[in-house]
């Protein structure tokens, strides 16, 4: 395997081809020779602390804003537990994984990346998926995303990436979106981001619920067992109720109807006792596999297909308690990738190495000083003994005379544990000290293509539509053209669709790749959301639009069938006071039709008399309730007599529109809802 190469990532340019201007320097005025790579001990070796350029760049970036997070500012979190279902003491000495049935408390925070604290939940964005395990050996923070890869290979570029994605500095917009010139200008000059581009333009970045998305540790870590033997490991969170996303048109409308949609969903689910649950899986492999794999396992822009290394499920996480105070817990929690426990270790992934520096540094700025571990949400649940003292907001200091070590006092405080203390994996490091990137990082298109061809036709269409939408918001024609010129290396049809959607005069001449892409990588079904559907309505919500005079039995049968399937029913009516059934029963509404568009629900049903349907037909919100549900390929249940509303909405029933008369009709309708969408309507 080739290990060394010239600086850069394969000969491609990282700046505008016509760029000139001043020489890049540090804040101290020192000229910079390489702004793409951190200083490493060998091309695949660890990053070196003496890289003053990287430290200064990251230090300044981490301290740009107070008090909200620079990234992942908008988040929501809950408490729960992690339980081991398959002990793995042969792979890791971590006490956490040592015994089946062992439980530890966790605190999990989900977030968007680019938007500020006040941005909407359904922005097209990566979702943070960070879990703090309070173990008997200290806190372990698995700080990941809902996407297994990232935009960049080296942490040196992280400030540039986020600057480009955030609102443009001269105008302060757009916020919480990447559909603007700066982002695509940067991305189009970073071929290594093309794999991530496929993910962010897919439905993965507009999840229906935080409960319905996967999570990933992103990086390759190490397991180390009690004998010191190491294995590489990648971490996966798999939602127990399956994956699901919304359509882009739904996301836009949800953001207007309920910008707190994801927060409210988590709150309501936990309050109702429908606790969100994920399985923790690991991909474990050795050096022999790493050396034979087509790509470098230290490259955060790559993944390992599950078909090559199956995901072994070793535990489950259940979130069963909401926070007592949002600021004290969700806002003040500090996740640091450097927080690991004995039995888990880092690798030389240059993005991970940079994160280990950055996360600690940024917490000091956000939380006022070095004592943020004294805040209850960040404090370990195991005994703590050290000689750290004083500083801002110190809540406890060492007791007694000794505040240093070694010391000779009889009660001289804690001592190092030579046997059970944390030890780094003794990896041999050989290499020149250079700003460099390994040749094995140079393939930027092969896995992007693999991801695309792994999607269903519906999902591929969404990726093309998303690229056209985003690039249509880019003013500079040269940026649009430069971005599209990457796409032929991913898929010729995709390139043609996007070029046509943008009105370009054909597909631009493709960029010269740093390394010839592999065109025959096998599709991976695990990468598709639709190929991994839940086949159940459990955890989903039916929007039930009702009017006065409806049949009691039909109403009760439908509600009972949904709840029996593990779903929820939200009653929508012309007035929030509710309706009166044919039997004289008062049914209060959860929502007034004006504030409950169908985009808020996974499926809808309308129970109305002919008179009631005629009245609904005169209400614009009711007409769009039906029309949008139909346009978004949702299943629709109808009672007899609703034709006036359907006619007014311009909806002609198909096989995804079902009549609910008797109780058996309700059961059949709910059983169908497990498919979540009637996709034949979109492809017709």
Q: pLDDT of 501-533, one tens digit each?
A: 999 999 999 999 999 999 999 999 999 999 998
* Structural domain 535-683, CATH architecture: 3-Layer(aba) Sandwich (3.40)
- Summarised one tens digit per residue, pLDDT across range 54-112 is 888 887 788 776 578 889 989 999 999 999 999 999 999 999 999 999 999 999 999 99
For residues 336-347, average pLDDT: 94
- Summarised one tens digit per residue, pLDDT across range 447-499 is 999 999 999 999 999 999 999 999 999 999 999 999 999 999 999 999 999 99
Q: What's residue 19's pLDDT?
A: 55
**What angle (nearest 5°) sits at the alpha carbon of residue 540, between those of residues 539 and 542?**
140
The residues that are catalytic are 72, 145
Q: How far apart are CA 165 and CA 123, in angstroms?
A: 13
> Does CATH place domain 442-530 in 3.30.70.360?
no
Name which CATH class applies to 72-355. mainly beta
User: Hey, CA dihedral for 350, 355, 356, 362, is it positive or negative?
Assistant: positive
pLDDT: is 395 or 237 the higher one?
A: 237
Q: What's residue 13's pLDDT?
A: 41
Sorting pLDDT into bands at 50, 70 and 90, what band is 12? very low
Residue 10 pLDDT > 60, yes or no? no
Residue 656 pLDDT > 70, yes or no? yes
Cβ contacts of residue 80 below 8 Å, gap of 6+?
Answer: 105, 106, 107, 108, 275, 317, 318, 319, 320, 321
Decide whether 72-355 matches 442-530 in CATH topology.
Answer: no
Sorting pLDDT into bands at 50, 70 and 90, what band is 230? very high
SS (H, E, C) 602-667: CEEEEECCHHHHHHHHCCHHHHHHHHHHHHCCCCEEECCCCHHHHHHHCCCCCCCEEECCCHHHHH
What is the CA 150 to chain-centroid distance, rounded? 11
- Specify whether the backbone of 609 is left (phi greater than 0), alpha (psi in -120 to 50) or beta: beta
For residues 402-407, average pLDDT: 86
Lowest mean pLDDT among 57-61, 199-203, 281-285: 57-61
The radius of gyration of the chain's CA atoms, rounded to the nearest angstrom, is: 27
Q: Which percentage of the chain shows pLDDT scores above 90?
A: 79
For residues 253-265, average pLDDT: 97
Residue extents of the structural domains in the chain: 72-355, 442-530, 535-683
**Which is nearest to 361 in space by CA: 46, 54, 115, 113?**
54
Residue 247 pLDDT > 50, yes or no? yes
């Amino acid at each position: 395997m080739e290990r060394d190469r010239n600086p850069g990532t394969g000969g491609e340019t990282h700046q505008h081809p016509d760029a000139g201007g001043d020489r890049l320097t540090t804040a101290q005025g020192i000229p910079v020779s390489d702004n793409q790579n951190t200083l490493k001990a060998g091309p695949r070796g660890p990053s070196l602390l003496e890289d003053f350029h990287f430290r200064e760049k990251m230090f300044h970036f981490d301290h740009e804003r107070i008090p909200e997070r620079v990234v992942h500012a908008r988040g929501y979190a809950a408490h729960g537990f992690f339980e081991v279902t398959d002990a793995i003491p042969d792979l890791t000495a971590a006490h956490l994984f040592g015994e089946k049935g062992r439980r530890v408390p966790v605190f999990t925070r989900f977030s968007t990346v680019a938007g500020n604290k006040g941005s909407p939940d359904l922005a097209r964005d990566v979702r943070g998926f960070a879990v703090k395990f309070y173990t008997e050996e200290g806190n372990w923070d698995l700080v990941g995303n809902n996407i297994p890869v990232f935009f960049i290979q080296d942490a040196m570029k992280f400030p540039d990436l986020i600057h480009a994605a955030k609102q443009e500095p001269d105008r302060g917009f757009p916020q919480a979106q990447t559909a603007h010139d700066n982002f695509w200008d940067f991305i189009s000059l970073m071929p290594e981001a093309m794999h991530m581009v496929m993910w962010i333009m897919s439905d993965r970045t507009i999840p229906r619920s935080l409960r319905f998305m996967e999570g990933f540790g992103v990086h390759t870590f190490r397991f180390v067992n009690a004998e010191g033997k190491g294995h590489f490991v990648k971490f996966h969170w798999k939602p127990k109720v399956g994956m699901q996303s919304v359509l882009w048109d739904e996301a836009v409308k949800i953001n207007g109807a309920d910008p707190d949609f994801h927060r409210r969903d988590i709150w309501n689910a936990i309050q109702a006792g429908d606790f969100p649950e994920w399985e923790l899986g690991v991909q474990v492999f050795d050096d022999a596999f790493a050396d034979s794999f087509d790509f470098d396992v230290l490259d955060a822009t790559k993944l390992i297909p599950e078909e090559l290394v199956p995901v072994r499920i070793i535990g489950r996480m259940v979130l069963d308690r909401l926070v007592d105070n949002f600021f004290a817990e969700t806002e003040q929690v500090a996740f640091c990738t450097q927080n690991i426990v004995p039995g888990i270790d880092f690798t030389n992934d240059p993005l991970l190495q940079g994160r280990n520096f950055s996360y600690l540094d940024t917490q000091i700025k956000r939380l006022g000083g070095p004592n943020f571990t004294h805040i209850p949400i960040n404090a370990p649940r195991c005994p703590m003994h050290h000689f750290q003292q004083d500083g801002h907001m110190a809540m406890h200091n060492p007791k007694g005379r000794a505040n240093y070590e070694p010391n000779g006092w009889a009660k001289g405080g804690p001592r190092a544990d030579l046997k059970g203390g944390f030890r780094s994996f003794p990896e041999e490091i050989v290499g020149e000290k250079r700003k460099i990137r390994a040749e094995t990082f140079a393939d930027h298109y092969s896995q992007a293509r693999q991801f695309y061809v792994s999607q269903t036709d519906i999902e591929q269409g969404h990726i093309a539509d998303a690229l056209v939408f985003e690039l249509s918001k880019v003013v500079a024609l040269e940026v649009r053209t430069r971005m599209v010129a990457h796409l032929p290396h991913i898929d010729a049809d995709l390139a043609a669709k996007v070029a046509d959607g943008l009105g370009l005069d054909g597909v631009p001449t493709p960029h010269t790749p740093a390394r010839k892409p592999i065109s025959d990588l096998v599709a991976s079904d695990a990468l598709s959301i639709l190929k991994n559907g839940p086949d159940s309505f459990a955890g989903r919500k039916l929007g039930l639009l009702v009017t006065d005079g409806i049949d009691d039995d039909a109403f009760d049968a439908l509600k009972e069938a949904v709840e029996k399937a593990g779903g929820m029913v939200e009653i929508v009516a012309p007035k929030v006071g509710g309706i009166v059934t044919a039997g004289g029963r008062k049914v209060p509404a959860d929502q007034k039709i004006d504030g409950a568009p169908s985009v808020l629900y996974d499926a809808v049903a309308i129970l109305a008399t002919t008179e009631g349907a005629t009245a609904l037909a005169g209400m614009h919100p009711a007409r769009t309730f039906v029309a949008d549900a139909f346009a978004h390929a949702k299943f629709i249940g109808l009672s007899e007599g609703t034709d006036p509303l359907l006619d007014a909405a311009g909806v002609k029933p198909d096989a995804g529109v079902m009549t609910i008369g008797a109780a058996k009709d309700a059961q059949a309708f709910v059983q169908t809802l497990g498919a979540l969408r009637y996709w034949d309507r979109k492809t017709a």
